Amino acid sequence: MEQRQVIKQMVEFGQTAFNNAYDANTLLQDQVERVTNTMLDQAGWLPSEGRKAITGWVTTYKTGRDNFKKFVDDSYKQVNEIIAG
């Protein structure tokens, strides 16, 4: 029983560390997005195709980021279910 509790605590620590790193990364990416949008608003020389490309990149990385978080959360859920028995 003691061994299972130690493993559970290790997994919880890993999950907390991941969540904190993910949240920090999300804050950074959101700030970069705001700065990018401000620059795009001020860049009158940039054609609309360029703006669409940059907007597409932002959408793609957000989708990828969310999918990655969901995958990791599902994996931790499965590990916790295995530990619980």
Residue 69 lies in a domain: yes
Residue 56 lies in a domain: yes
Render pLDDT for 24-65 as a digit per residue (tens, 0 to 9): 999 999 999 999 889 888 888 888 888 889 899 999 999 999
Segment 10-34 shows an average pLDDT of 96
The number of folded domains in the chain is 1
Residue 26 lies in a domain: no
Query: Residues with Cβ < 8 Å from 26, sequence gap 6 or more?
Result: 65
Distance CA 75, CA 67 (A): 12
Give the structural domain span for 62. 48-85
Residue 68 lies in a domain: yes
Sign of the dihedral defined by the CA atoms of residues 60, 64, 67, 73, in that order: negative
- Give yes or no for a contact between 54 and 33, defined as CB atoms under 8 angstroms apart: no
Residue 72 lies in a domain: yes
Ramachandran assignment for 51, one of left (phi > 0), alpha (psi -120 to 50 degrees), beta (any other) = alpha
